């Protein structure tokens, strides 16, 4: 059965810290891995990764995929309180989501 | 563009009642889907559609029906509500390349919080 596991499940840091969120997966017919940020309501898209070793960046956030070892990481540098959210990883072929990592950034 | 809209925002049902959760998008996306989100479990795919007239089951389809008569609308029907269906329901859409919409960025609606007593 397809599986997506995120770690840690929750994380508390202080502003300015750097965090690394992990997503490991076992899926058949992998097509893509996506990261979403969920604050109070609907998830919003961060990155889509399809190829190994190519880093995607957006401001202080970056992500990379390792298709050999079947995992991805999401890095957030110089964290801010506005980064507090649940970060979700989803893997397709059937867009299976992990349980999420709840990140809390304290002032 | 309104994006993806869902109604109602909140709903309380009694066990055995039926209802329809509405979802509409104005982005001309071919691919639409329904998820439920329960505490500590991420989102689970209920049903999806790759275009008008085409629907398929996701991971947790039991107790739910869908239809897709237009590109814009994708309603989710609860046939006979059960307490286990208490959840937050999200509708999402994405553009589709040869039916591959579920592999791409999805735009989510604001969600419907459903409680079944």
Cα→Cα distances B49→A87, B28, B45, B112, Å: 25, 13, 11, 19
Residues in B whose CB is inside 8 Å of some CB of A read: 33, 35, 40-45, 58-59, 90, 100, 102-111
pLDDT for B96 equals: 67
Q: Which token pair is B38?
A: 């329960």
pLDDT band at B11 (very low <50, low <70, confident <90, very high): very high
pLDDT, position A44: 94
Closest CA to A27 of A100, A97, A101, A99: A97
Model confidence pLDDT, tens digit, residues A15-66: 999 999 999 999 888 888 999 999 988 999 999 998 888 899 999 999 999 9
The alpha-carbon gap from B114 to the nearest alpha carbon of chain A, in Å, equals: 14
Distance from CA of B17 to the nearest CA of A (A): 26
User: How many angstroms separate the CA atoms of B51 and B27, rounded?
Assistant: 13
Taking CA–CA distances from B94, the nearest residue in chain A reads: A45
Contact flag B43-A34 (C-beta cutoff 8 Å): no
What pLDDT is attached to residue A87?
Answer: 97
Tell which wins on pLDDT, B101 or A58.
Answer: A58
Is the CB of residue A33 less than 8 Å from the CB of residue A23?
yes
What is the overall mean pLDDT for chain B?
Answer: 92
The C-alpha atoms of residue B42 and residue B52 are separated, in whole angstroms, by 27
Q: How many CB pairs under 8 A join A and B?
A: 52
Distance, in angstroms, between A63 CA and closest chain B CA? 15
């Amino acid at each position: 059965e397809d599986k997506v596991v995120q770690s840690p499940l929750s994380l508390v840091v202080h502003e300015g810290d750097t965090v690394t969120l992990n997503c490991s997966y076992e899926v058949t017919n992998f097509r893509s891995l996506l990261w979403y940020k969920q604050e109070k309501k609907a998830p919003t898209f961060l990155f889509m990764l399809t190829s190994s070793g190519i880093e995607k960046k957006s401001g202080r956030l970056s992500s990379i995929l390792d298709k050999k070892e079947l995992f991805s990481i999401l890095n957030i540098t110089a964290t801010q309180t506005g980064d507090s959210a649940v970060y979700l990883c989803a893997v397709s072929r059937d867009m299976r989501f992990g349980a999420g990592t709840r990140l809390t950034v304290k002032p | 563009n309104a994006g993806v809209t869902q109604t109602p925002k909140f709903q309380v049902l009694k066990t055995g009642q039926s209802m329809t959760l509405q979802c509409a998008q104005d982005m001309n996306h071919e691919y639409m889907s329904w998820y439920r989100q329960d505490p500590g479990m991420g989102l689970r795919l209920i049903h999806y559609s790759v275009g008008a007239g085409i629907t398929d089951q996701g991971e947790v389809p039991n107790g739910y029906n869908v239809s897709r008569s237009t590109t814009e609308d994708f309603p989710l029907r609860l046939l006979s509500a059960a307490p286990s269906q208490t959840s937050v329901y999200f509708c999402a859409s994405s553009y589709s390349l040869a039916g591959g919409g579920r592999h791409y960025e999805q735009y989510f609606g604001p969600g419907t919080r459903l409680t079944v007593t």
